[in-house]
Amino acid sequence: MLEELFKSSTSVLLLGVIIGLLIIQILLSSFSSKEMREPPGPRPLLLLGNLLQVNLKRLDKSLFDLSKTYGPVFTVYFGLKKVIVIAGYRTVKQALVNHAEEFGNREVTPIFYDFTKGHGILFSNGDSWKEMRRFALSTLKDFGMGKRISEGKIIEECHYLIQEFEQHQGNMTFNNSQTIVYAASNIISAIMFGNRFEYKDPVFQAMVERDNESIRLTGSASLLIYNIVPWLGPFLKNWRDLMKNVEDNKAEVKRIIGNLKETLNPEMCRCFVDAFLIHRQKLEESEIKDSHYHDDNLLYSVINLFAAGTDTTGNTLQWCLLYMAKYPHIQDQVLEELNRVVGSRQVCVEDRKNLPYTDAVIHESQRLGNIVPMAIPHRTSRDVSLHGYFIKEGTTVFPLLTSVLYDESEWEDPFTFNPAHFLDQEGKFVKRDAFMPFSAGRRVCPGESLARMEIFLFFTSLLQHFRFTPPPGVSEDELDLTPVVGFTLSPSPQKLCAVRRQ
Show contacts with ligand HEM in window 444-463 (CB under 6 A).
445-447, 450-451
Q: Based on CB atoms, which residue is closest to ligand HEM, 196 or 443?
A: 443
- Cα distance between residue 361 and residue 314, in whole Å: 16
Q: Based on CB atoms, which residue is closest to ligand HEM, 88 or 309?
A: 309
Stretch that binds ligand HEM, among 7-15, 58-66, 168-176, 437-445 (CB under 6 A): 437-445
DSSP string, 396-460: EEEE-HHHHHT-TTT-SSTTS--GGGGB-TTS-B---TT--TT--GGG--TTHHHHHHHHHHHHH
Decide: 172 and 497 in contact? Cβ < 8 Å: yes
Query: From the list 58, 133, 153, 421, which residue makes contact with ligand HEM (rule: CB under 6 A)?
Result: 133
Quote the least distance from Cβ 426 to ligand HEM, whole Å.
28
- Cα distance between residue 392 and residue 357, in whole Å: 45
Quote the least distance from Cβ 170 to ligand HEM, whole Å.
32
Show contacts with ligand HEM in window 55-114 (CB under 6 A).
106
Q: Based on CB atoms, which residue is closest to ligand HEM, 271 or 497?
A: 271
Show contacts with ligand HEM in window 380-399 (CB under 6 A).
399
- Cα distance between residue 130 and residue 136, in whole Å: 10
H or E element at residue 254: helix 237-262
Q: Based on CB atoms, which residue is closest to ligand HEM, 397 or 498?
A: 397
Q: How many residues bind ligand HEM (CB under 6 A)?
A: 27
Residue at shortest CB range from ligand HEM: 447
Query: From the list 246, 355, 372, 405, which residue makes contact with ligand HEM (rule: CB under 6 A)?
Result: 372
Quote the least distance from Cβ 121 to ligand HEM, whole Å.
4
Query: From the list 122, 224, 260, 355, which residue makes contact with ligand HEM (rule: CB under 6 A)?
Result: 122
Stretch that binds ligand HEM, among 259-267, 301-309, 341-349, 427-435 (CB under 6 A): 301-309
H or E element at residue 67: helix 59-70
Query: From the list 76, 371, 404, 498, which residue makes contact with ligand HEM (rule: CB under 6 A)?
Result: 371
Quote helix, strand, coil % in the chain, to nearest 5.
60, 10, 30
Quote the least distance from Cβ 285 to ligand HEM, whole Å.
28
Judge residue 296's burial from the number of C-beta atoms within 10 Å of its C-beta, 0-12 exposed, 13-18 middle, 19 or more buried.
middle
- Cα distance between residue 177 and residue 199, in whole Å: 12
Q: Which residues are annotated as a binding site for heme?
A: 445
Query: From the list 50, 316, 318, 469, which residue makes contact with ligand HEM (rule: CB under 6 A)?
Result: 316
Decide: 233 and 226 in contact? Cβ < 8 Å: yes
Decide: 310 and 317 in contact? Cβ < 8 Å: no
Quote the least distance from Cβ 249 to ligand HEM, whole Å.
16
Q: Is 438 in the site for ligand HEM (CB under 6 A)?
A: yes
Q: Based on CB atoms, which residue is closest to ligand HEM, 130 or 467?
A: 130
Q: Based on CB atoms, which residue is closest to ligand HEM, 122 or 299?
A: 122
Q: Is 314 in the site for ligand HEM (CB under 6 A)?
A: no
- Cα distance between residue 276 and residue 317, in whole Å: 30
- Cα distance between residue 229 and residue 235, in whole Å: 11
| 440 Cβ contact list (under 8 Å, min separation 6) | 92, 93, 96, 97
Buried b (16+ CB within 10 A) or exposed e, 232-244: ebeebebbeebbe
Q: Is 498 in the site for ligand HEM (CB under 6 A)?
A: no
Torsion angle in degrees (nearest 10) through CA of 352, 355, 360, 365: -70
Quote the least distance from Cβ 356 to ligand HEM, whole Å.
20
Quote the least distance from Cβ 441 to ligand HEM, whole Å.
7
- Cα distance between residue 309 and residue 194, in whole Å: 15
Quote the least distance from Cβ 465 to ligand HEM, whole Å.
22
| 42 Cβ contact list (under 8 Å, min separation 6) | 50, 53, 66, 69, 70, 76
Torsion angle in degrees (nearest 10) through CA of 111, 83, 131, 97: 140
Quote the least distance from Cβ 396 to ligand HEM, whole Å.
12
Q: Is 196 in the site for ligand HEM (CB under 6 A)?
A: no
- Cα distance between residue 300 and residue 211, in whole Å: 13
Q: Is 305 in the site for ligand HEM (CB under 6 A)?
A: yes
Binding footprint of ligand HEM on the chain (CB under 6 A): 106, 121-122, 133, 140, 188, 304-305, 308-309, 312-313, 316, 371-372, 375-376, 399, 437-439, 443, 445-447, 450-451
